Structure 1
Amino acid sequence: MHCAIKFEEKLGVPKTSKLLRAWIDQNGTRTASQVLLNKLIHLTEWSDKEFIKRLADKYLSTDPPEDQPEHKGEPNEDLDRPVTTEELIAQLTLIKMAALDRTRLQHEKLFNLDDDTIAHLVEPFILQYWDRGFIPPKWNKVEMRFLPKPNKD
């Protein structure tokens, strides 16, 4: 999977520090992770940028996605059929408690729509993306965000 790196390539920036601490020690305390991070930085001969780049190369895929080969098996009618309004409504109930995405769209607002409105929203999506097999480049990028844990720095 291709991942768009969305953090500053400088040490000392909060987003970068959080990301580096998470890579180094996910289960330890913030202080222990910071101590270990400082030791690693001082033990290497790399510049700050090189250090971050090497970690990103190891933990994030920054290569462009590869073209996938065409499917050579038997057609699967069940997988190829369009998404139904009922399926979308079922998925909305599952993501009702999910965190907001980049669009800041509140899922409960979608959940409260009537079936006709949902069907009206789904039809263009199916025509543009499902039937044509087109995936917008934006959908192949990931933005890493940290969700704060209660009672933890």
Structure 2
Amino acid sequence: MKQIYLIILCLLSLGVSAKDAAPLADDPQTEQRLISISEEMRCLVCQNESLAGSRSDLANDLRREIRTLIKEGKSDDQIRAFMVERYGDFVLYRPPVKPITWLLWIGPFVILLIGIAGLLMYLRRRNSLIPTTALSDADNKKIDTLLRNSSVEEEGNT
């Protein structure tokens, strides 16, 4: 019975064959330019993935748009400018430093400084709430005696 299943499986697998992946562009240079441009851009859906690596429908549409612009003879800078004009500076992985994007560049450092300041304030406030008690002379003498005895025991052990 197993032999029959094996024969049927072999016969069915004859119709299945792998095909080579079709190139996305007729020209390999166009495809190379597309990849280099789209690696510098952020997928607007995924946000943490490059346009080149994303498989979302919007990323596919944007790559198709970039490919069309390349075929029209646009330069890389013109294509980037078109994408920024259409989708804003957020589409670039490294947005330019200008007043609109200052928050993107400086924001993380400001948040870090606020966190450090908050931590220091918390630690100071906590330390001020801990009561301080002064030791009497008798307590200080007991401590000195204990310290001397422990240092003598350590010297004896070594």
Q: TM-score, normalised by structure 1?
A: 0.30
Q: Pick the structure with greater CA Rg.
A: 2
Bigger fraction of residues in helix: 2
